[in-house]
Amino acid sequence: MSDFEIKLTDQNFDEFISGADKPVLVDFYADWCGPCQMLSPVVSEIAETRSDITVAKVNVDENPLLCAKFGIVSIPMLAVIKNGEVTAQNVGFCDKAKIESML
C-alpha cells in the first residue's frame, strides 16, 4: 500500500465514502491473493498520478461486513464510488487502461 492509498474498514467505510468530495477507487484485496498482488502496483501507480480521485483499499479478510455489503465472492475486486453510488466495478486482474476507463 502506497502513501497515497487509504485503508478502509467495516468501521470507517460509510463515513469516509459519505464525506468523499471526489470519486473513490476501492480495491478489495487479500494478502494471500496472487492476482491481488499483481494488481496492487497498478492501483498504486494510479493513486500516485491521479489527483482527481481517491484510492482506498479494503482487506477482505479483516472486513467481512463490507464483503457482504458488496457481495464479494471473488477478488481482486475494484469498485468506483461516486456520490455514494457504485458507478463501475471489475472482478479479477485488469490493466491500467481498463481501470482508467472505469474512472
Q: What structural domains does the chain harbor?
A: 5-102 (3.40.30.10)
Q: Is the pLDDT of residue 2 over 80?
A: no
pLDDT in tens, 91-101: 999 999 999 99
pLDDT in tens, 29-39: 999 999 999 99
| Set 33, 91, 94, 102: catalytic member | 33
| Higher pLDDT, residue 27 or 2 | 27
Give residue 5's pLDDT. Answer: 75
55 band by pLDDT with thresholds 50, 70 and 90:
very high
The mean pLDDT of the chain is 93
Residue 7, all three cell numbers: 485503508
Give residue 68's pLDDT. Answer: 95
- Residue 36 and residue 29 in contact, taking contact as beta carbons nearer than 8 Å: yes
Assess whether 94 carries a catalytic annotation: no
Assess whether 36 carries a catalytic annotation: yes
Residues in the chain: 103
Share of the chain above pLDDT 70, in %: 96
| Set 24, 26, 36, 75: catalytic member | 36
- Residue 53 and residue 20 in contact, taking contact as beta carbons nearer than 8 Å: no
In terms of pTM, does the model score above 0.95?
no
Residue type (1 letter), 74: S
d(CA 94, CA 88): 13
